[in-house]
Amino acid sequence: MTLGQKILIWLMFVWLGVPFVVMQDHYPLFRYGMFAEPVQEAIQTEQFFVRYSNPKAGNPLPQLFDPAQIGMPGPTYRLLLRNYYYRRQSQQLLENLHRPLHRVGVRADCWELYRVMNFRDTSLVAQWQNAGL
């Protein structure tokens, strides 16, 4: 072996070995190879939905609001529900959803926003009554 080859082998050893000598914990070893843990995504367990009813017209059973009724995409609708809830403007959201639905001919006087946590805990977080549009 020539001197150049020995230096090259020594530099490769230093380049590959020094990071393992100076590391303070074993975390890099758990990222790769046989010690790797499967990648897990955090699942969004908080959901919102809106129900409406028209008790004045003899239809007290609430119906689930579908954003397609007013031509709104589902992801946009879910984002709006979450956004208005955290800005504490849920009643304004319910009023804003009432207007376009009223324009397409659906009469709804009582609106409710629900929050579902962990796929089982459902709570009413906002309610809006139509005062006469």
Instruction: Write the pLDDT tens digit of every residue in 65-108.
Output: 889 888 889 888 998 899 899 999 998 988 888 888 888 888 88
At residue 73's C-alpha, the angle toward residues 111 and 42, to 5°, is 90
Q: Are residue 11 and residue 65 in the same domain, yes or no?
A: no
pLDDT score recorded for residue 6: 92
Answer whether residue 40 is part of any domain.
Answer: no
The answer on 121 and 80 residing in a single domain is yes
Same domain? For 122 and 61 the reply is yes
Q: Is the pTM of this model over 0.85?
A: no
Are 56 and 25 within one domain?
no
13 and 76 in a common domain: no
Q: Do 24 and 70 sit in the same domain of this protein?
A: no
Task: Domain of residue 96: give its range.
Answer: 46-129
Structural element, H or E, at residue 12: helix 3-22
CA distances 64 to 67, 69, 89, Å, are: 10, 11, 20
Nearest Cα residue to 36 out of 45, 27, 44: 27
In contact, 94 and 113? CB cutoff 8 Å: yes
User: What is the count of structural domains for the chain?
Assistant: 2
Q: Are residues 9 and 62 in the same domain?
A: no
Examine residue 41 and state whether it is found in any structural domain, yes or no: no
Q: Under DSSP, is residue 44 helix (H, G, I), strand (E, B) or coil? A: coil
- pLDDT of 45 > 80? The answer is no
Dist. CA 66–CA 64, nearest whole Å: 6
